[in-house]
Every structure is written in C-alpha cells, then in structure tokens.
Amino acid sequence: MASHSLNTLHTVFEYIWDRELPNDDFTNTLTVLGRTYAPGPPPHQEKAPDLRTLFHKFKPDQAADTEASWPREFLRDVHSRIWLTYRSGFPLIKRAEDGPSPLSFGSLIRGTVDLATVTKGFTTDAGWGCMIRTSQSLLANSLLQLRLGRGWRYDQTRECAKHAEIVSWFVDIPTAPFSIHNFVEQGANCAGKKPGEWFGPSAAARSIQVLCEANYDKTGLKVYFTASGDIYEDELFELAQQGAELRPVLILAGIRLGVKNVNPLYWDFLKKTLGWPQSVGIAGGRPSSSHYFFGFQGDYLFYLDPHVPQKALLIASEAPHESPDPNHYVEVESGLDLDSVHTNKIRKLHLDQMDPSMLVGLLVENRASYDALKHSINSHDQGSRFLNVYDSRPVLAAKSSGGLEESEFVDLGVLSMNEYDAIDDCDVGTCSALLRKERAFSHPVLVAMDPEEPEEIDASIHFDKDASILEKDPDRANETFEEIHVSETESRFEPDEPVVVSHDSAAVM
C-alpha cells in the first residue's frame, strides 16, 4: 500500500514537472552553443480554455502544438545535445563509514532507493549527483563536437558509431572512462568528497581534468582549469602545444558572479560566452540544484535538467569474469539506450534566478580557434567580463603563502547550501589535506617575505587606519577588538589580484 502511494506520488510529480514549455518569445533570437535561430512567427491566437480544460490531462496533440511553437532546426539542435541524468540500479558505489547515508526522504519519494543495498552503498545518484551529471553532459557534448562537428544532428532512425562510442564512455559501470563511479572516485582523491556528497564546480572540473588525462588515448582532449577566470597562455600552450599547432583543449572556468544571484553587470558577457562557437555550455547555476545550460533567448537561459531519474545506462563491462570485484562486471544487454540521453523538452530560466556559482566550458580545437576565442574575450569591456587572457601568471599570484594553494576556486567567503555548491569548505579541488571551517573574511592576504630578513619577524597586525571598535565601554580601560585566530590565516583561496602586506608598509585594500 505504501509502495503504491509512493509510486502514485512519483507519477504526479513527474507529470507536473515534465510538462512541455511553449515558446512565448517571438522577438528575440534563439542561441544554442554558437548557433542562432530565428524565433519564428507567433501562432494563431485562439480563445483561452475554460477552467476545466486546465485540469484535463495533458494530451499528445497539445504536446505537438507546444513543440510546433519552436523552430524545427532549433529543436533538432537541442535534441542532438547529450543529456545525462540521475540513474538508478547501477553497480554499487560503496558508502564511506563517515559519509552520507543512501537512505533519505527524497530517495523514498522518487522511488529510486534499493532497500536491499541501502546499508552498503549507493545504486542511484538521485538527490546528490546533479553536478556530476551536468559536468558529464558538458564533457560529452565537448567530445561530440570534437569528433562529429557542431553541425551533426541525432537521427533516431540511423546509428552513428562515433556517437554511440562517446555515450558508452559515460555508462554507469566502474570500467567506463567517465562513469559516475570514476567521478566519485576522483572527487574523493582530489576534493575529499565522499560518495553521496554534492560536488561543486571545482571538484567536477578536477575530476574531468584527471579522467581526460587518464583517457587521452581515447579522447585526444586536454583540459585546462582556471579557478578564477584567468587564462594564462604560457600554461595553456605548455599543456596543449604541439609544434606550431595547438591540440584540442577544453577550458573549464570555475567562477562565482555574485553573492546570491548573478550580478547583472555580467549578464551580457555570460550570454556572449554561450554564443561563441567555442562554447560547450555551463554546468551549475541554479539554487539548490545544477543544470546544463546550452543557450539563451533574451534574458532567459535554456538548460537540460538532470533531475529526471532513469534506469541505469549499462552495457557489458570490459572487466573479465574472474574480476575480484563482482561490481566490476554486470550482465546486461549489449545495446545502448541512446534515446534516453537525448530530449527535446525545452526549459529556460531567467538570469535573475540563476545561482552565481558555475562551471563554464570552452572547447578550443586548434590555434585559429584559440585566437578567435582570445579576440572575443578581449573585445568585451574588461569591467564587465569574468574571463581574462594573460601572457603568464603574475609572480606573486604563483606563490603560496600561509597554506594558500594555487588555482583554487575563488569565492566571496559566503556559506551556501546549494546541492552542487562549489564553495563549501570541503570543495578544495586539490589532493592535499583539507580544512573545514567557517571563514571570518572574504579575501586571503599574501604576505611578501624578504629572504634576507631574520627568521623571527614582527608578526603583529598593522592597520593603515584606526581599527573598528566592536565594543567600547567608557567605564572600562580596555577596548575590545575582533580576534582573528592564527588558523584563519591558513586560507585555501587565491584571489585574482592578491593583496600584499609587508612589515613596513600598510595593506592596500
């Protein structure tokens, strides 16, 4: 009885959530990863339905009318994007002893929990894997563009071996190069993420970077990650240069464009990035969840939603039968359900509702592509863009001070409860020891050390103006100031323009 009620509730939820979105903007151009489409003429205006019609079941002919409101070529383009979602029923991902439990209220509502294995680990990523799935989508569409070209379109009536091969790299088994199992493993190695914990853009980017390097013979794709939006040519060329040419490289930028929402100052540039031919989309960017954004119309962004639970995408594992771990082999049909990784359902989100933390992807296929990207970035006003290209990394920014790590994800020091939150204190993006604490300030301070100075130096704090008084009692002889613990100076974040403090000069704030 309880199971039937849960299934009914799940069906109702899917019906409400999965309804078609009609086109209601016939003025603004539609943009999809560098391609543009005319919005088309408005449909014939019909008499509004009465109230009873609104409660009738959504019929197939109504869905067809909704689909017809979007330009055909636009829909074909959207339908050709690889769409990776929550899956259930995949080989077990073992639970960490001190990690999250696979059993949750949300998993019961969704009907995705496997009660037979719930004490051992995860057989579904529903509720925690959305940033992984959107990052997989970003990577999969990068590989699709690299191997088949931007003009390729998915045709359900004809098979494409290269397309099927790319999808097979993302199936939900441990031996697939970019499976959720391998993302979870790299999230643990590089960001201290336990199975069942939400990823942030930094953890996702680091996982992509490591997995692409490990599978370079298959993908032919290098990955360059910037945690601040700054691209340093010398580092990029060292990674991808091959003679006079540049090998294909995926540039991933982990950025935060505001505190609670995207600052309107960046709206135009954010849309422009999706309009460049190098764009392969954005992962993240919605409060309490992550989506894969692939285009825009006006001030609305189009996205693919990973929060649609489906059966695990499985193919026969390459692991031998005598594999010591039975989870590395699963007997399933050899065919891939390719239709399940494509959708023509259109969803959009206004920029003022977008979460400011995101992972921006740009695919550079050769030197000409890179030069065009650099020109596009530099042609935008520097004060309202979040990407910059420099010849090399500044000397001070390349040094670590007080435990500061290079290339860390930059945030504003605010706590967030987002499902894919990149800025929580455990999403460090490095393989070093982790620190978990609340920060009392936003920006780290780099202290310039003179090598000729004696070992024992004045470690006291000097102010360039009177310090703010937190408490002042005229009856007391002493004034109380905010105490900054030594441990808080061990910041893990590196700013774009570090503040330099020396023992004989005041901080430049």
Report pLDDT digits (tens) over 177-221: 999 999 999 999 999 999 999 999 999 999 999 999 999 999 999
Considering the domain boundaries, does residue 162 fall inside one?
Answer: yes
Q: Band of the pLDDT at 336, cuts 50, 70, 90? A: confident
pLDDT digits (tens, 9 = 90+) for 410-443: 443 333 334 434 333 344 344 433 333 333 333 4
Q: For residue 492, is it within any domain?
A: no
pLDDT band of residue 67 (cuts 50, 70, 90) is: low
Is residue 431 annotated as a catalytic residue, yes or no?
Answer: no
Q: Residues 305, 355, 411, 421: which is the catalytic one?
A: 305
Question: % helix / strand / coil in the chain, to the nearest 5?
Answer: 30, 15, 55
Alpha carbon distances (Å) from 275 to 36, 268, 458: 8, 11, 53
Is residue 409 one of the residues assigned to a domain? no
User: What integer pLDDT is reported at residue 110 of this predicted model?
Assistant: 54
Condensed to tens digits (0 to 9), the pLDDT of residues 252-288 reads 999 999 999 999 999 999 999 999 999 999 999 877 7
Give catalytic status of residue 307 as yes or no. Answer: yes
Per mean pLDDT, which range of 35-39, 68-72, 373-377 is the poorest? 68-72
pLDDT attached to residue 99: 78
Supply the mean pLDDT for the chain: 76
Share of the chain above pLDDT 70, in %: 62
pLDDT at 458 over 90: no
Q: What is the largest CA-CA distance in the chain?
A: 86
Mean pLDDT of 486-493: 43
* Candidate list 10, 79, 307, 328, residue with the active-site label: 307
Residue 102 is given by DSSP the state S
In a domain, 290, yes or no: yes
**355 within domain boundaries:** yes
* Close Cβ partners of 109 (under 8 Å, ≥ 6 residues apart): 6, 9, 10, 13
Inside any domain, residue 466:
no
Identified catalytic residue from 130, 181, 411, 427: 130
Residue 315 has pLDDT above 50, yes or no: yes
Catalytic residue list contains 130 = yes
Among candidate residues 377, 428, 374, 423, the one with its CA nearest the CA of residue 403: 428
Report yes or no on 450 lying in a domain: no
Tell me whether residue 320 is in a domain.
yes
- If one counts the domains in the chain, the total is 1
* Domain extent at residue 267: 75-398
Q: How far is CA 218 from CA 214, 239, 315, 407, in A?
A: 9, 17, 18, 27
